[in-house]
């Protein structure tokens, strides 16, 4: 006789991750011996900058780095981040009150939701979006309310469509530009509108800058903190993961509104003990040792891949458009397919993995996402296989099963 163990009830409310299903199918295909080409996961394929690796190695040998880090983060890393914001965005931050080290932005975002939202509160989340925003709201007992992002509005939220009741209960609003998964970008005027709305309604706006350095064709992405009065309501996450090819290192900063950061600090001091000092020192090197040159080299790589993919997908009958930011292509599915059926057919008949748009929310249905994080030869092989399916002429009938 054994009394069954039961996970917390709130886990039952966490939606099934379509991605998990996709990973399972991908693993099955690999196990069958299929040579899988994955455009699925947005994880940079190239190495971290050499000076950053060298700093880590050096710092790892210093015994003072073998102890617990400071709770709010290493003062020198926070100062380097403040210095970077001043140079890059013209935004002056107080490194003590307005900058905090987080263990990757995913950690910071998650704990900020716990710090700010409680049962009965609303968290405004874009749809489609990085799933963590809504999932953490659910775990914290709050209610995610979606702001649909549609192509006709440039994938920007329509603030007029949020109901007065939801506005009244809203504690947080998430925005993310350049956007995952759509590749859409925002101008400073868009942030001005969002900041004005959030100031008026006492909502903390969380700007996720994961792709801010990945831009093309002369476009430079702004920070929401460039907007006057933004620091009264805005918290921004600057992650080193994607721009510096450092996803494995788990290092980012939360910057902006000091009250919200203070609340985040209370959750964090009771949850984690901060990121390793050696990693923070290495991240300082990334921020101070000619980062612009590194971004320029990386963006040249992504731009070449982007243009080649757009060309190749169009030749395969897909309506791909080149984004000005991020390393994703957000491609509407051809007639006769759903995003799920297209992703399934690409995997089953071509060994090609893409992310179905509905994995990012209901408004993502009808799109698939291609990540440009694979080398030229794999990319070309993927395109060759996609072309061989003749998608433009084979939709109805074969696809929906
Ligand atoms: C990859 C990604 C993150 C995660 O960043 P970390 O700093 O590695 O946790 C956050 N937001 C978006 C939109 C992402 O695509």
Average per-residue pLDDT for the chain: 95
The strand ranges marked E within 9-142 are 37-38, 99-102, 122-127
Q: Which atom of ligand 1 is nearest to the CA of 108?
A: 9
Give backbone dihedrals phi and psi of 147, rounded to 5 degrees, phi first.
-110, 100
Reading the block at residue 41, the tokens are 């996961």
Query: DSSP state, 33?
Result: T
Confidence label for 395 from pLDDT (cuts 50, 70 and 90): low
Distance 219 CA to ligand 1 centre (A): 21
Domain 9-47+293-388 = CATH 3.40.50.620: no
Distance 394 CA to ligand 1 centre (A): 36
**Contact (CB, 8 A) for 328 and 368:** no
Distance 315 CA to ligand 1 centre (A): 31
Q: Is the pLDDT of residue 1 over 70?
A: yes
Give 265: exposed, middle or buried? Use CB within 10 Å, 0-12, 13-18, 19+.
middle
pLDDT of residue 18: 66
pLDDT of residue 359: 92
Distance 109 CA to ligand 1 centre (A): 9
Dihedral angle at the C-alpha atoms of 11, 13, 184, 286, nearest 10 degrees?
-10
Give 194: exposed, middle or buried? Use CB within 10 Å, 0-12, 13-18, 19+.
buried
DSSP string, 323-360: -SBSSEEEEEPPTT--HHHHHHHHHHHH-EE-EEGGGG
Confidence label for 398 from pLDDT (cuts 50, 70 and 90): very low
b/e string for 237-258 if b means 16 or more Cβ within 10 A?
Answer: bbbbbbbbbbbebbbbbbbbbb
Question: In the chain, how many H helices and how many E strands?
Answer: 13, 12
Reading the block at residue 34, the tokens are 């299929």
Q: What is the CATH number of domain 50-289?
A: 3.40.640.10
pLDDT of residue 288: 97
Prediction pTM value = 0.95
Distance 180 CA to ligand 1 centre (A): 9
Segment 385-390 shows an average pLDDT of 94
Segment 291-319 shows an average pLDDT of 97
Q: Which atom of ligand 1 is nearest to the CA of 107?
A: 9
**Nearest residue CA, atom 1 of ligand 1?**
210
pLDDT of residue 393: 80
Query: DSSP state, 298?
Result: H
Confidence label for 130 from pLDDT (cuts 50, 70 and 90): very high
CATH 3.90.1150.10 segments of the chain: 9-47+293-388
- Across 95-109, 238-252, 385-399, least confident range: 385-399
Contacts of 32 (CB under 8 A, 6+ apart): none
C-alpha to C-alpha distance for 379 and 301, rounded to whole angstroms:
13
Distance 340 CA to ligand 1 centre (A): 23
**Nearest residue CA, atom 14 of ligand 1?**
210
Q: Is the pLDDT of residue 397 over 60?
A: no
Q: Which atom of ligand 1 is nearest to the CA of 180?
A: 13
Distance 107 CA to ligand 1 centre (A): 9
C-alpha to C-alpha distance for 284 and 273, rounded to whole angstroms:
19
Contacts of 27 (CB under 8 A, 6+ apart): none
Confidence label for 342 from pLDDT (cuts 50, 70 and 90): very high
238-257 tens-digit pLDDT = 999 999 999 999 999 999 99
**Contact (CB, 8 A) for 363 and 150:** yes
Mutate to test the pocket of ligand 1, among 19, 41, 100, 106 (most ligand atoms within 8 A of CB): 106
**Nearest residue CA, atom 11 of ligand 1?**
210
25-69 tens-digit pLDDT = 889 999 999 999 999 988 999 999 999 999 999 999 999 999 999
Distance 122 CA to ligand 1 centre (A): 22
pLDDT of residue 138: 95
Reading the block at residue 108, the tokens are 């910071």
Mutate to test the pocket of ligand 1, among 100, 127, 241 (most ligand atoms within 8 A of CB): 241
82-101 tens-digit pLDDT = 999 999 999 999 999 999 99
181-222 tens-digit pLDDT = 999 999 999 999 999 999 999 999 999 999 999 999 999 999
Distance 238 CA to ligand 1 centre (A): 9
Q: Which atom of ligand 1 is nearest to the CA of 176?
A: 13
Element (H, E) at 283: helix 277-288
Place of tokens 């190495």: 47
Q: Which residues line ligand 1 (CB under 6 A)?
A: 42, 104-106, 130, 176, 180, 208, 210, 239, 241-242, 247, 252
**Nearest residue CA, atom 15 of ligand 1?**
180
CATH 3.40.640.10 segments of the chain: 50-289
**Nearest residue CA, atom 5 of ligand 1?**
105
Distance 237 CA to ligand 1 centre (A): 9
More confident residue, 318 or 13: 318
Place of tokens 């455009």: 39
C-alpha to C-alpha distance for 301 and 87, rounded to whole angstroms:
24
pLDDT of residue 323: 98
Q: Is the pLDDT of residue 396 over 80?
A: no
138-181 tens-digit pLDDT = 999 999 999 999 999 999 999 999 999 999 999 999 999 999 99
Q: Which atom of ligand 1 is nearest to the CA of 106?
A: 9
Give backbone dihedrals phi and psi of 309, rounded to 5 degrees, phi first.
-65, -45
Distance 208 CA to ligand 1 centre (A): 8
pLDDT of residue 401: 38
126: helix, strand or coil: strand
Distance 239 CA to ligand 1 centre (A): 7
Q: Which atom of ligand 1 is nearest to the CA of 130?
A: 13
């Amino acid at each position: 006789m054994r009394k069954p163990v039961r996970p917390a009830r709130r886990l039952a409310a966490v939606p099934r991750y379509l991605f998990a299903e996709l990973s399972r199918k991908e693993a099955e295909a690999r196990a069958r011996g299929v040579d899988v080409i994955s455009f699925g996961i947005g994880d940079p394929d190239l190495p971290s900058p050499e000076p950053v690796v060298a700093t880590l190695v050096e710092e790892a040998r210093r015994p003072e780095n073998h102890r617990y880090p400071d709770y709010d983060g290493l003062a020198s890393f926070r100062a380097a981040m403040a210095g970077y914001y001043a140079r890059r965005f013209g935004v002056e931050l107080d490194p003590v009150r307005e900058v905090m080290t987080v263990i990757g932005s995913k950690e910071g975002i998650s704990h900020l939701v716990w710090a700010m939202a409680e049962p009965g509160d609303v968290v405004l989340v874009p749809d489609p979006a990085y799933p963590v925003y809504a999932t953490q709201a659910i775990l914290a007992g709050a209610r995610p309310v979606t702001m649909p992002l549609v192509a006709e509005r440039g994938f920007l939220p329509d603030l007029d469509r949020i109901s007065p009741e939801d506005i009244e209960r809203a504690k947080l609003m998430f925005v993310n530009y350049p956007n995952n998964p759509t590749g859409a970008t925002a101008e400073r005027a868009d942030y001005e509108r969002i900041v004005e709305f959030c100031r008026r309604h006492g909502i903390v706006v969380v700007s996720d800058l994961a792709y801010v350095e990945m831009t093309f064709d002369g476009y430079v992405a702004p920070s929401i903190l460039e907007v006057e009065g933004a620091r009264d309501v805005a918290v921004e996450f600057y992650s080193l993961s994607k721009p510096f090819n450092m996803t494995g290192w788990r290092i980012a900063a939360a910057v902006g509104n000091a009250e919200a950061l203070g609340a985040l600090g209370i959750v964090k001091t009771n949850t984690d003990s901060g990121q390793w000092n050696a990693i923070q020192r290495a991240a300082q090197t990334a921020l101070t040792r000619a980062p612009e040159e590194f971004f320029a080299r990386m963006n040249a790589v992504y731009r070449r891949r982007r243009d080649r993919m757009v060309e190749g997908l169009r030749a395969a009958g897909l309506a791909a458009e080149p984004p000005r930011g991020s390393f994703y292509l957000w491609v509407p599915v051809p007639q006769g397919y759903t995003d799920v059926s297209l992703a399934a057919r690409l995997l089953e008949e071509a060994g090609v993995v893409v992310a179905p748009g509905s994995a990012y929310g209901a408004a993502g249905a009808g799109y698939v996402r291609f990540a440009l994080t694979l080398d030229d030869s794999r990319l070309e092989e993927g395109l060759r296989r996609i072309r061989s399916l003749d998608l433009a002429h084979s939709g109805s009938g074969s696809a929906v099963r």
